[in-house]
Structures are given as structure tokens and as C-alpha cells.
Amino acid sequence: MESSFNSYHSVKKWKKEKILKFRSDASALNDFHDLIMKEVISIALDRIKVERASSWKFAWFTMGSSGRREQGFLSDQDHGLVFEAGADEAEAYFLELGEEISKGLKAAGYPYCEGNVMSSNPLWCKSFSEWKEQIHAWMQEESLQTMRNLHIFYDSRVLTGEEKYIAELKSFITVNIQKSPHLLTRMMETSMHMKKSVGPFGQFLAEEKGSHQGELDLKYSAFIPYVNAVRILAVKEGIQDTSTIARINKIIKINEYEGMGKYRNNFAALLKWRLLSYRQTDDYDDTHYIQLKTLSISERNELRDILKDAKKLHQFVVRTIQKGAG
């Protein structure tokens, strides 16, 4: 895989010139992000050369909104590496490669992940057998952090390398959850939190102070609630797709999940809204807020319904998982 760019800076320049062309197409925007990341990986592979490296199999995978193909115009990093177990030399090489890719993505305009979920972190850069051991340990520990790590990992999508590694690790999670159904309850307990956004009289509960005063936090009141609820159902049913809409499409085909269509439509509307309400900013957090005063009455009504439905979806998922555990 050879890059058509000679530096991370030139990739950033190209990204900046082209990205706003995708203002009305979330899928095309995510294809563009994939292309940018692949260019960065190509440059990194060229810079970190080891004689035997070409014979070592690996998969570089992306997670978070990128793994789900739900990125907006500005997105931070979430990624990892899994490689074929081999010599210590291979481990050192892939960690160095992970560091170079992280550095390259930062230079290309993707801020570092504040939680350090990156292939430069040994926790997210391991051989296949070590990954299996780590996932098993996460499920045994059942702490808030290890359950959160499972959620993050389940959104992984291979961008370069061996897709079978991630498919096998996700199947490993599914098999273990089928053996120990309480793990699904634990995953639900550690993720099903919603930021209250609609008051008892149907009024929006906007930010009361700070730089986003009067604005609505679209990420934590809408996006994350839909993403987390649908992921829980995907894990339950062993669905390996990563995008929320693709997951809902598979879930709809299962008899006990009637009425999921409206949630799919709501989420598609949210993706479109985020692009249309974008403002020029270099602050990743700014992209999560919507200015309520700019909305028409019909847009306010649509947003209110989407937020209320998020609560209904959560209640449905909680009932479904509790029934399965009972």
C-alpha cells in the first residue's frame, strides 16, 4: 500500500481542502476519513521499516465513531493493532508502528484520544493470543473500566490488514456472553446512562452556563444513548457489523424486535443534522453541540421526538436484557 503523499502535513492540507464537500452525505464523509487514515498508515509503514516486517500479519483497526462510520467533520483518534504472535522483535515493531500512526493522524488533523485508546498504547497493541487473554480478563473482572473497554472494542473495524483477527475476537466475546448471560446485564449497567435533555413540559434542557450556554449537547443526549442501546442488542445477537444503522437493519430481521425502524430513521436524521449544523472549529467538543435558537419549529419538534424516542429505546433494551437474564 503506497501513499500518494510524501508527508502527514500534505495529507492534512488535502483533507482541509476537500472535507466540506461532504456536507450532505455522512457515508461519503466516512469514506473520505477512511481514505485519509489509509494514507497516514501508508506513510507510517514506509517510515518504520524492519527487514522481516513484510512477513508479519497484522490488522490495524479503528473504533469509536470511526469504527462505526459515524464521524463528523472533526474526530479524535480511537484505534488499535492486533498482530500474529511471533518474536519479541515483532512486538517492538508494531508498538513503534502504532506510535508512528498515532503521531501521523495527529499531524493530519485527528486529535489524540484523551483516554489513550490508540495503537501507541500497549493495552491496545497486542498479538492475537494476547488480545484473547486480555478480552477474557476484561470479562472476568467486570469492572466499569473493563466493561467500557469491551464496548469500545466491539465497535472495532479493520482498516488495513487481516479482517479475520477482529471477526474471531468478536466471536470470542459472543461465545463467552452466551455462556455467562449476566455479562450482558453488566455491559448494560455500565453504559445505559442518558443526559436529560427534555423537561416534563417538553422543553429542551440546554446548557445553563459556559461556552455552550443555550445549546444542546447532541452527543450525550442523543448520539451516545442510541449507539449504546443498539450495541447492547448487537452483542446479544452476535451481530458483528459496527455502524448503528447496519446493526439496526440486522436486528429488524429478528422477530422479537418489532418497531426498530423508527430508531433507525431517527439515527439517520441525527447523522444528517450533525453535518448540517457544523461550524468551523478546531475544538472537537464544539462539534457536539447544536444551537437551539437556529432551529425552526418543525426542526425543534423533530429533535424533541428523537430525544424522547432515545429514552423509549433505552427502556426497551433494559426490559429485553432483564428478560433474557431472568
Distance CA 1, CA 54 (A): 11
125 Rama class: left (phi>0) / alpha (psi -120 to 50) / beta: beta
Question: What is the structure's pLDDT at 121?
Answer: 98
Distance CA 101, CA 221 (A): 32
Q: Compute how many other C-beta atoms are within 10 angstroms of the C-beta atom of residue 223.
A: 21
Question: What is the structure's pLDDT at 212?
Answer: 81
Q: How many degrees, rounded to 5, is the angle at CA 153 between CA 150 and CA 159?
A: 175
Identify any residues that bridge with 60 across adjacent strands, giving them in sequence order.
81, 160
Report residue 304 CA to chain centroid gap. Answer: 24
Residue showing cell 483477527: 165
Identify residue 268 by its one-letter amino acid code. Answer: A
Helices (H), 60-127: 64-67, 88-107
Question: What is the structure's pLDDT at 283?
Answer: 57
Q: Across the chain, what does the average pLDDT equal?
A: 90
Q: Are 197 and 216 in contact (CB under 8 A)?
A: yes
Q: Is the pLDDT at 258 greater than 60, yes or no? A: yes
3-state secondary structure of 289: strand
User: Which three three-digit cell numbers place residue 218?
Assistant: 447532541
In sequence order, the 6+-apart residues with CB closer than 8 A to the CB of 219 are: 288
- For 71-126, the pLDDT digits (tens) are 988 889 999 999 987 767 889 999 999 999 999 999 999 999 999 999 999 999 99
Question: What is the structure's pLDDT at 285?
Answer: 64
Question: What is the structure's pLDDT at 119?
Answer: 97
User: How many angstroms separate the Cα of 100 from the Cα of each of 56, 87, 88, 128, 211?
Assistant: 17, 20, 19, 21, 34
Residue 193's pLDDT band (cuts 50, 70, 90): confident
Question: What is the structure's pLDDT at 288?
Answer: 76
Distance CA 114, CA 76 (A): 9
Identify residue 299 by its one-letter amino acid code. Answer: E
DSSP 287: G
Stated as kind and residue range, the H or E segment containing 62 is strand 58-62
Distance CA 203, CA 111 (A): 34
DSSP 108: T
- For 282-307, the pLDDT digits (tens) are 555 666 788 888 888 998 999 999 99
Residue 271's nearest CA partner among 316, 235, 226 is 226
Q: Is the pLDDT at 48 greater than 80, yes or no? A: yes
CB-count exposure of residue 323 (10 Å: 0-12, 13-18, 19+) = exposed
Q: Compute how many other C-beta atoms are within 10 angstroms of the C-beta atom of residue 50.
A: 14
Helices (H), 19-143: 26-47, 64-67, 88-107, 128-141
